[in-house]
Amino acid sequence: MIKPIQIIAIIFAIFLLLKAILRLKNKKLTINEFLFWSAMWMLLTILSIFPQISDKIANFFGFGRGLDFFIVSSILLIFYLIFRIYIMLEELDSKIVKLARSISLKEIKDIKSLDR
C-alpha cells in the first residue's frame, strides 16, 4: 500500500531532479555538482518507492528503524555544516579585516607621501 507521503516525496524528488537538469543546461551547475545532486534526488526517489531499503541500511548500522538512522545522520550532517560555516565566517571576517586594514594603511601612506 503506497502512502501519500511517498507520492509527495517522489514528486518532490522528480521536481528537484528536473531543476538540476535545467541548471546544468544553463551552465549554473558543474557536471560534478549535477552528478551529486541528481544522485541525491534519485536516491530519495528510490527510497520513497522502496522504504524497506532504508530499514535494511539502518539495520546494517545498528538502528532499529530507517527513520532513526535518517534523523541521526541528519543531525551529524547539520553539525558538520555548522562547523564549516563557522570556519567560513571566521575566514570571511579575516578577509574583511585584512581589506579594511590595507585600505587604512594605503590611505595614510598616500597622505605621508604627499607631505614629503
Partner 1 sequence: MKNKPKIYIVIPAYNEENSISGVIKDLKKHNYHNIIVVDDGSTDNTLKIARQAGTIVVRHPINLGQGAALRTGMDLALDLGVDLIVTFDADGQHMAKDINKLIKPVISNEVDIALGSRFLDHSSNTPWLKKVLLKIGVILVFLMYGIMLSDTHNGLKAISRQAAQKISIESHGMEHASEIIGKIKVNRIKFREIPVTIRYSKYSIKKGQRISNSLNIFIKMLTKWFIK
Binding stretches for partner 1 (CB under 8 A)? 87, 90, 93-94, 96-97, 100-101, 103-105, 107-109
Nearest CB to partner 1, comparing residues 59 and 104: 104
Q: Which CB atom, from 62 or from 115, has the smaller least distance to partner 1?
A: 115
Burial grade of 40 (CB within 10 A; 0-12, 13-18, 19 or more) = middle
To the nearest whole angstrom, how small is the minimum distance from the Cβ of residue 83 to partner 1? 9
Least distance between partner 1 and beta carbon 63 (Å): 30
Q: How far is the CB of 85 from partner 1 (least distance, A)?
A: 13
Q: Which three cell numbers stand for residue 76?
A: 551529524
Q: How many Å apart are CA 18 and CA 30, to the nearest integer?
A: 15
Helices 51-61 & 31-49 angle (0-180, nearest 10): 100
Q: Which is nearer to partner 1, 35 or 105 (CB)?
A: 105
Q: How far apart are the first and last CA of the chain?
A: 86
CB 101, min distance to partner 1, A: 5
